[in-house]
Amino acid sequence: LSELQTVILRHNQLYGTLDIGSSYSNRLKLIDLQNNNISDFTPPSRENNITLILVHNPFCEKGGGEEYCTVPQGHQESNSTYSTPPNNCVPVHCSSDKLSSPNCTCAYPYVGTLFFRAPSFTDLGNSSIYTELETTLMLSFQSHHLPVDSVSLSNLTKNSADNLALSLKVFPSGQDRFNRSGISRIGFVLSNQTFQPFYFIGDDYGYFAEEVSRGTSNGIIIGAAVGGSVLVLLLLLAG
Protein backbone atom coordinates (compact mmCIF):
# COMPACT_ATOMS: atom_id res chain seq x y z
CA LEU A 1 0.00 0.00 0.00
CA SER A 2 2.83 2.36 -0.82
CA GLU A 3 0.47 4.72 -2.66
CA LEU A 4 -2.17 4.90 0.09
CA GLN A 5 -3.05 8.51 0.86
CA THR A 6 -6.47 8.49 2.51
CA VAL A 7 -8.25 6.10 4.89
CA ILE A 8 -11.90 6.87 5.69
CA LEU A 9 -13.73 4.31 7.84
CA ARG A 10 -16.46 6.26 9.59
CA HIS A 11 -19.38 4.40 11.19
CA ASN A 12 -17.72 0.97 10.96
CA GLN A 13 -17.97 -0.26 14.59
CA LEU A 14 -14.19 -0.49 14.88
CA TYR A 15 -13.09 -0.99 18.50
CA GLY A 16 -10.06 -1.47 20.73
CA THR A 17 -6.70 0.31 20.55
CA LEU A 18 -5.62 2.01 17.34
CA ASP A 19 -1.99 1.43 16.39
CA ILE A 20 -0.97 2.48 12.89
CA GLY A 21 2.57 1.16 13.37
CA SER A 22 5.53 2.54 11.44
CA SER A 23 5.30 0.88 8.02
CA TYR A 24 2.56 3.11 6.61
CA SER A 25 2.94 4.97 3.31
CA ASN A 26 4.90 8.22 3.34
CA ARG A 27 2.06 9.64 1.25
CA LEU A 28 -0.61 8.89 3.85
CA LYS A 29 -2.26 12.20 4.79
CA LEU A 30 -5.63 11.38 6.37
CA ILE A 31 -7.09 8.71 8.66
CA ASP A 32 -10.72 9.49 9.42
CA LEU A 33 -12.29 7.10 11.95
CA GLN A 34 -15.17 9.20 13.23
CA ASN A 35 -18.07 7.44 14.96
CA ASN A 36 -16.45 4.14 15.92
CA ASN A 37 -15.64 2.47 19.28
CA ILE A 38 -11.90 3.10 19.52
CA SER A 39 -10.94 3.30 23.19
CA ASP A 40 -7.23 4.08 22.96
CA PHE A 41 -4.55 5.21 20.54
CA THR A 42 -0.84 4.41 20.31
CA PRO A 43 0.97 7.31 18.63
CA PRO A 44 3.20 6.36 15.66
CA SER A 45 6.89 5.87 16.37
CA ARG A 46 8.09 8.20 13.61
CA GLU A 47 7.24 11.75 12.62
CA ASN A 48 4.45 12.20 10.12
CA ASN A 49 2.01 14.70 8.66
CA ILE A 50 -1.05 12.50 9.06
CA THR A 51 -4.36 14.07 10.05
CA LEU A 52 -6.06 11.61 12.42
CA ILE A 53 -9.72 12.18 13.32
CA LEU A 54 -11.19 10.20 16.24
CA VAL A 55 -14.24 12.35 16.96
CA HIS A 56 -17.17 10.41 18.52
CA ASN A 57 -15.02 7.55 19.80
CA PRO A 58 -14.61 6.52 23.48
CA PHE A 59 -11.00 7.72 23.23
CA CYS A 60 -12.20 11.30 22.81
CA GLU A 61 -15.13 10.99 25.19
CA LYS A 62 -12.74 10.12 28.02
CA GLY A 63 -10.53 13.12 27.28
CA GLY A 64 -8.13 11.88 24.63
CA GLY A 65 -5.74 14.13 22.76
CA GLU A 66 -7.44 17.32 21.60
CA GLU A 67 -5.61 17.26 18.27
CA TYR A 68 -7.39 14.01 17.38
CA CYS A 69 -10.80 14.93 18.79
CA THR A 70 -11.80 17.87 16.61
CA VAL A 71 -12.74 17.84 12.95
CA PRO A 72 -10.40 20.02 10.85
CA GLN A 73 -11.92 22.47 8.42
CA GLY A 74 -12.74 20.78 5.14
CA HIS A 75 -13.40 17.35 6.67
CA GLN A 76 -16.85 17.95 8.15
CA GLU A 77 -19.81 15.84 7.03
CA SER A 78 -21.48 18.79 5.41
CA ASN A 79 -22.20 20.60 2.19
CA SER A 80 -19.94 22.77 0.06
CA THR A 81 -21.12 26.07 -1.35
CA TYR A 82 -19.13 25.73 -4.58
CA SER A 83 -20.86 26.84 -7.77
CA THR A 84 -19.21 27.37 -11.16
CA PRO A 85 -18.60 31.12 -11.53
CA PRO A 86 -19.23 33.15 -14.72
CA ASN A 87 -16.37 33.06 -17.23
CA ASN A 88 -15.41 36.76 -17.14
CA CYS A 89 -18.89 37.88 -18.11
CA VAL A 90 -22.09 39.18 -16.53
CA PRO A 91 -24.84 36.55 -16.07
CA VAL A 92 -27.95 37.33 -18.08
CA HIS A 93 -31.60 37.10 -17.10
CA CYS A 94 -33.16 34.26 -19.09
CA SER A 95 -36.79 33.78 -20.00
CA SER A 96 -38.82 30.58 -19.77
CA ASP A 97 -36.86 27.61 -18.38
CA LYS A 98 -33.55 28.68 -19.89
CA LEU A 99 -30.53 29.15 -17.64
CA SER A 100 -27.51 31.40 -17.94
CA SER A 101 -24.40 29.38 -18.78
CA PRO A 102 -20.90 30.06 -17.41
CA ASN A 103 -20.34 31.92 -20.70
CA CYS A 104 -23.45 34.03 -19.95
CA THR A 105 -25.73 32.80 -22.74
CA CYS A 106 -29.28 31.57 -22.22
CA ALA A 107 -29.93 27.93 -23.07
CA TYR A 108 -31.65 24.73 -21.98
CA PRO A 109 -28.87 22.65 -20.35
CA TYR A 110 -28.83 18.91 -19.90
CA VAL A 111 -29.02 18.47 -16.12
CA GLY A 112 -28.07 15.52 -13.97
CA THR A 113 -26.18 14.44 -10.87
CA LEU A 114 -22.75 12.87 -10.46
CA PHE A 115 -22.60 10.47 -7.51
CA PHE A 116 -19.25 9.42 -6.01
CA ARG A 117 -18.90 6.42 -3.71
CA ALA A 118 -16.31 7.15 -0.98
CA PRO A 119 -14.21 9.56 -3.07
CA SER A 120 -10.52 9.92 -2.27
CA PHE A 121 -10.67 13.71 -2.04
CA THR A 122 -11.66 15.06 1.36
CA ASP A 123 -11.30 18.84 1.31
CA LEU A 124 -14.64 19.87 -0.15
CA GLY A 125 -13.71 23.52 0.23
CA ASN A 126 -10.85 23.21 -2.28
CA SER A 127 -12.28 24.90 -5.38
CA SER A 128 -9.40 23.71 -7.56
CA ILE A 129 -10.88 20.19 -7.46
CA TYR A 130 -14.04 21.41 -9.16
CA THR A 131 -12.33 23.66 -11.70
CA GLU A 132 -10.13 20.74 -12.74
CA LEU A 133 -13.21 18.57 -13.07
CA GLU A 134 -14.92 21.20 -15.24
CA THR A 135 -11.86 21.40 -17.48
CA THR A 136 -11.59 17.63 -17.75
CA LEU A 137 -15.26 17.24 -18.63
CA MET A 138 -14.97 19.89 -21.35
CA LEU A 139 -11.86 18.27 -22.82
CA SER A 140 -13.66 14.94 -22.91
CA PHE A 141 -16.71 16.39 -24.65
CA GLN A 142 -14.53 18.30 -27.12
CA SER A 143 -12.48 15.21 -27.96
CA HIS A 144 -15.74 13.54 -29.00
CA HIS A 145 -16.75 16.62 -31.04
CA LEU A 146 -19.88 17.21 -29.00
CA PRO A 147 -21.80 20.52 -29.29
CA VAL A 148 -21.05 21.57 -25.69
CA ASP A 149 -20.45 25.23 -24.84
CA SER A 150 -19.70 24.87 -21.12
CA VAL A 151 -20.42 22.88 -17.98
CA SER A 152 -21.56 24.03 -14.55
CA LEU A 153 -21.14 22.30 -11.18
CA SER A 154 -23.11 23.14 -8.04
CA ASN A 155 -25.04 21.81 -5.03
CA LEU A 156 -22.29 19.56 -3.75
CA THR A 157 -23.23 17.44 -0.74
CA LYS A 158 -21.45 14.74 1.25
CA ASN A 159 -23.23 12.47 3.70
CA SER A 160 -22.09 10.42 6.68
CA ALA A 161 -21.38 7.42 4.44
CA ASP A 162 -18.94 9.56 2.42
CA ASN A 163 -21.07 9.47 -0.70
CA LEU A 164 -20.78 12.71 -2.60
CA ALA A 165 -23.37 14.15 -4.99
CA LEU A 166 -22.66 16.98 -7.42
CA SER A 167 -25.12 18.65 -9.78
CA LEU A 168 -23.93 18.86 -13.39
CA LYS A 169 -25.35 21.14 -16.09
CA VAL A 170 -24.12 20.73 -19.68
CA PHE A 171 -24.86 23.71 -21.94
CA PRO A 172 -25.27 23.43 -25.74
CA SER A 173 -23.06 25.24 -28.24
CA GLY A 174 -24.33 27.09 -31.31
CA GLN A 175 -27.99 26.88 -30.32
CA ASP A 176 -30.13 27.11 -27.22
CA ARG A 177 -30.89 23.38 -26.88
CA PHE A 178 -29.62 19.91 -27.69
CA ASN A 179 -31.16 17.52 -30.18
CA ARG A 180 -31.73 13.87 -29.33
CA SER A 181 -28.47 12.66 -30.81
CA GLY A 182 -26.54 15.29 -28.82
CA ILE A 183 -28.07 14.12 -25.54
CA SER A 184 -27.43 10.50 -26.50
CA ARG A 185 -23.77 11.18 -27.26
CA ILE A 186 -23.27 13.09 -24.00
CA GLY A 187 -24.73 10.11 -22.14
CA PHE A 188 -22.35 7.83 -24.04
CA VAL A 189 -19.31 9.89 -23.00
CA LEU A 190 -20.39 9.75 -19.35
CA SER A 191 -21.02 5.99 -19.48
CA ASN A 192 -18.30 4.66 -21.79
CA GLN A 193 -15.50 4.68 -19.23
CA THR A 194 -12.82 2.24 -18.10
CA PHE A 195 -12.92 3.01 -14.38
CA GLN A 196 -16.02 3.48 -12.26
CA PRO A 197 -15.58 5.82 -9.29
CA PHE A 198 -18.88 7.56 -10.02
CA TYR A 199 -22.24 7.12 -11.65
CA PHE A 200 -24.37 9.72 -13.40
CA ILE A 201 -28.14 10.11 -13.30
CA GLY A 202 -29.55 12.44 -15.93
CA ASP A 203 -32.85 14.26 -15.67
CA ASP A 204 -35.51 13.98 -18.36
CA TYR A 205 -34.66 16.44 -21.16
CA GLY A 206 -37.79 17.98 -22.65
CA TYR A 207 -36.40 20.68 -24.96
CA PHE A 208 -35.14 18.76 -27.97
CA ALA A 209 -34.26 20.70 -31.11
CA GLU A 210 -35.72 19.40 -34.36
CA GLU A 211 -33.43 17.30 -36.52
CA VAL A 212 -33.65 15.36 -39.75
CA SER A 213 -34.85 11.82 -39.13
CA ARG A 214 -32.31 9.08 -39.84
CA GLY A 215 -34.49 6.09 -39.20
CA THR A 216 -34.93 4.92 -35.66
CA SER A 217 -34.69 7.88 -33.32
CA ASN A 218 -32.60 7.92 -30.22
CA GLY A 219 -34.52 7.54 -26.97
CA ILE A 220 -34.56 10.13 -24.26
CA ILE A 221 -31.60 9.69 -22.00
CA ILE A 222 -32.93 9.02 -18.51
CA GLY A 223 -31.53 7.00 -15.66
CA ALA A 224 -28.03 6.03 -14.71
CA ALA A 225 -24.76 6.16 -16.58
CA VAL A 226 -21.92 4.50 -14.75
CA GLY A 227 -18.40 5.64 -15.43
CA GLY A 228 -15.35 7.44 -14.30
CA SER A 229 -12.25 7.78 -16.45
CA VAL A 230 -13.28 11.32 -17.29
CA LEU A 231 -12.59 12.01 -13.61
CA VAL A 232 -9.16 10.41 -13.45
CA LEU A 233 -7.55 13.86 -13.43
CA LEU A 234 -9.75 14.86 -10.50
CA LEU A 235 -8.83 11.76 -8.53
CA LEU A 236 -5.13 12.21 -9.26
CA LEU A 237 -5.33 15.85 -8.22
CA ALA A 238 -7.09 14.98 -4.98
CA GLY A 239 -4.65 12.16 -4.30
In a domain, 207, yes or no: yes
Compute how many other C-beta atoms are within 10 angstroms of the C-beta atom of residue 236.
10
Cβ–Cβ under 8 Å, residues 52 and 31: yes
Residue 85 lies in a domain: no
pLDDT band at 71 (very low <50, low <70, confident <90, very high): confident
* 128 three-state secondary structure: helix
| Helix or strand (DSSP H, E) at 17 | strand 15-19
Residue 90 forms part of a structural domain: no
Residues whose CB falls within 8 Å of the CB of residue 122, separated by 6 or more in sequence, listed in order: 6, 8, 30, 32, 74, 75, 238
CATH, residue 126: 3.30.70.1440
Q: Which domain holds residue 45?
A: 6-68
149 and 32 housed in the same domain: no
State mean pLDDT over 82-109. 92
The tens digit of pLDDT for each residue in 139-186 reads: 999 999 999 999 999 988 776 566 788 899 999 999 999 999 999 999
Sign of the alpha-carbon torsion through 168, 171, 176, 179: negative
Check whether 212 has a pLDDT greater than 70. no
Across the range 61-84, mean pLDDT stands at 73
Could you tell me the pLDDT band of residue 7, with boundaries at 50, 70 and 90? confident
Q: Are residues 115 and 64 in the same domain?
A: no
User: Does the global pTM surpass 0.75?
Assistant: no
Does residue 28 form part of some domain?
yes
Q: How many domains does the chain have?
A: 2
The reported pLDDT for the residue numbered 184 is 93
Distance CA 12, CA 172 (A): 44
Cβ-contact 68, 53 below 8 angstroms: yes
